[in-house]
Amino acid sequence: MLQILVNVVCNVRHAGNNAGAKNKWMTVRIRAADRRINISVSDNGVGISRENLPKIFNHGFTTRKDGHGFGLHSGALAARELGGSLKVDSEGPGLGATINLELPLEGKGCAG
Protein backbone atom coordinates (compact mmCIF):
# COMPACT_ATOMS: atom_id res chain seq x y z
CA MET A 1 0.00 0.00 0.00
CA LEU A 2 2.82 2.37 0.84
CA GLN A 3 4.43 1.81 -2.58
CA ILE A 4 1.15 2.67 -4.29
CA LEU A 5 0.66 5.84 -2.25
CA VAL A 6 4.24 7.03 -2.77
CA ASN A 7 3.78 6.66 -6.52
CA VAL A 8 0.44 8.50 -6.45
CA VAL A 9 1.90 11.39 -4.43
CA CYS A 10 4.88 11.62 -6.82
CA ASN A 11 2.46 11.83 -9.76
CA VAL A 12 0.51 14.57 -7.96
CA ARG A 13 3.73 16.51 -7.40
CA HIS A 14 4.62 16.28 -11.11
CA ALA A 15 1.08 17.27 -12.12
CA GLY A 16 1.19 20.32 -9.85
CA ASN A 17 4.62 21.40 -11.05
CA ASN A 18 3.60 21.03 -14.69
CA ALA A 19 0.35 22.96 -14.19
CA GLY A 20 2.23 26.11 -13.27
CA ALA A 21 -0.33 27.07 -10.63
CA LYS A 22 0.89 29.42 -7.91
CA ASN A 23 -1.32 27.81 -5.26
CA LYS A 24 -0.76 24.09 -5.71
CA TRP A 25 -2.77 21.80 -3.47
CA MET A 26 -3.31 18.15 -2.74
CA THR A 27 -6.09 16.74 -0.59
CA VAL A 28 -5.94 13.25 0.92
CA ARG A 29 -9.14 11.72 2.26
CA ILE A 30 -9.31 8.41 4.08
CA ARG A 31 -12.61 6.63 4.70
CA ALA A 32 -13.44 3.18 5.99
CA ALA A 33 -16.77 1.51 5.28
CA ASP A 34 -18.04 -2.01 4.66
CA ARG A 35 -14.71 -3.56 5.73
CA ARG A 36 -12.85 -1.56 3.06
CA ILE A 37 -10.64 1.50 3.17
CA ASN A 38 -10.72 4.20 0.50
CA ILE A 39 -7.82 6.62 0.15
CA SER A 40 -8.58 9.46 -2.23
CA VAL A 41 -5.88 11.87 -3.45
CA SER A 42 -7.06 14.98 -5.34
CA ASP A 43 -5.04 17.83 -6.84
CA ASN A 44 -5.31 20.97 -8.95
CA GLY A 45 -2.64 19.80 -11.39
CA VAL A 46 -2.62 19.43 -15.16
CA GLY A 47 -5.60 17.06 -15.23
CA ILE A 48 -6.18 14.19 -17.62
CA SER A 49 -7.95 14.32 -20.96
CA ARG A 50 -11.00 12.07 -21.42
CA GLU A 51 -9.21 10.09 -24.14
CA ASN A 52 -6.30 9.34 -21.77
CA LEU A 53 -8.39 8.26 -18.77
CA PRO A 54 -8.86 4.66 -20.02
CA LYS A 55 -5.11 4.37 -20.74
CA ILE A 56 -3.72 5.87 -17.53
CA PHE A 57 -2.95 2.47 -15.92
CA ASN A 58 -1.66 0.79 -19.09
CA HIS A 59 1.91 -0.52 -18.98
CA GLY A 60 4.23 2.06 -20.55
CA PHE A 61 1.62 4.81 -20.92
CA THR A 62 2.83 8.27 -19.93
CA THR A 63 2.24 11.88 -20.89
CA ARG A 64 5.45 13.16 -19.26
CA LYS A 65 8.64 13.60 -21.27
CA ASP A 66 10.70 11.95 -18.52
CA GLY A 67 8.02 9.41 -17.52
CA HIS A 68 8.29 5.69 -18.07
CA GLY A 69 4.68 4.62 -17.58
CA PHE A 70 5.35 1.92 -14.99
CA GLY A 71 4.33 3.58 -11.71
CA LEU A 72 0.55 3.76 -12.02
CA HIS A 73 0.49 0.46 -13.89
CA SER A 74 2.37 -1.33 -11.11
CA GLY A 75 0.21 0.44 -8.52
CA ALA A 76 -2.96 -0.84 -10.16
CA LEU A 77 -1.54 -4.37 -10.28
CA ALA A 78 -0.49 -4.19 -6.61
CA ALA A 79 -3.94 -2.92 -5.57
CA ARG A 80 -5.59 -5.77 -7.46
CA GLU A 81 -3.22 -8.30 -5.85
CA LEU A 82 -4.26 -6.96 -2.44
CA GLY A 83 -7.93 -7.43 -3.35
CA GLY A 84 -8.61 -3.79 -4.17
CA SER A 85 -8.50 -1.29 -7.00
CA LEU A 86 -6.83 1.91 -8.17
CA LYS A 87 -8.99 4.31 -10.18
CA VAL A 88 -8.65 7.83 -11.54
CA ASP A 89 -11.03 10.60 -12.51
CA SER A 90 -10.50 14.03 -14.03
CA GLU A 91 -12.78 16.62 -15.57
CA GLY A 92 -10.10 17.28 -18.19
CA PRO A 93 -6.92 19.23 -18.89
CA GLY A 94 -6.19 21.97 -16.38
CA LEU A 95 -8.83 20.72 -13.95
CA GLY A 96 -6.81 18.43 -11.69
CA ALA A 97 -7.47 14.78 -10.97
CA THR A 98 -8.51 12.40 -8.21
CA ILE A 99 -6.95 8.98 -7.69
CA ASN A 100 -8.82 6.49 -5.50
CA LEU A 101 -7.18 3.51 -3.85
CA GLU A 102 -9.62 1.03 -2.34
CA LEU A 103 -8.45 -1.97 -0.33
CA PRO A 104 -10.03 -4.52 1.99
CA LEU A 105 -9.34 -3.93 5.69
CA GLU A 106 -8.51 -7.62 5.99
CA GLY A 107 -7.06 -9.93 3.40
CA LYS A 108 -3.85 -10.55 1.51
CA GLY A 109 -0.94 -8.79 3.13
CA CYS A 110 -3.02 -7.49 6.04
CA ALA A 111 -2.73 -8.53 9.66
CA GLY A 112 -5.96 -9.37 11.40
| pLDDT bucket at 110, cuts 50 / 70 / 90 | low
Superfamily of domain 2-104: Histidine kinase-like ATPase, C-terminal domain (3.30.565.10)
**Residue from 44, 18, 49, 30 nearest 101 by CA:** 30
With H, G, I as helix, E, B as strand and everything else as coil, classify residue 19: helix
Predicted structure pTM score: 0.87
Predicted confidence (pLDDT) per residue in 20-54, tens digit: 778 899 999 999 999 999 999 999 999 999 999 99
Q: Where are the domains of the chain?
A: 2-104
Does residue 109 surpass a pLDDT of 70? no
- Residues 45-70, buried b or exposed e (16+ Cβ, 10 A)? bbbbeeebeeebbeeebbeeeeeebe
State the Cα–Cα distance between residues 61 and 55, nearest whole angstrom.
7
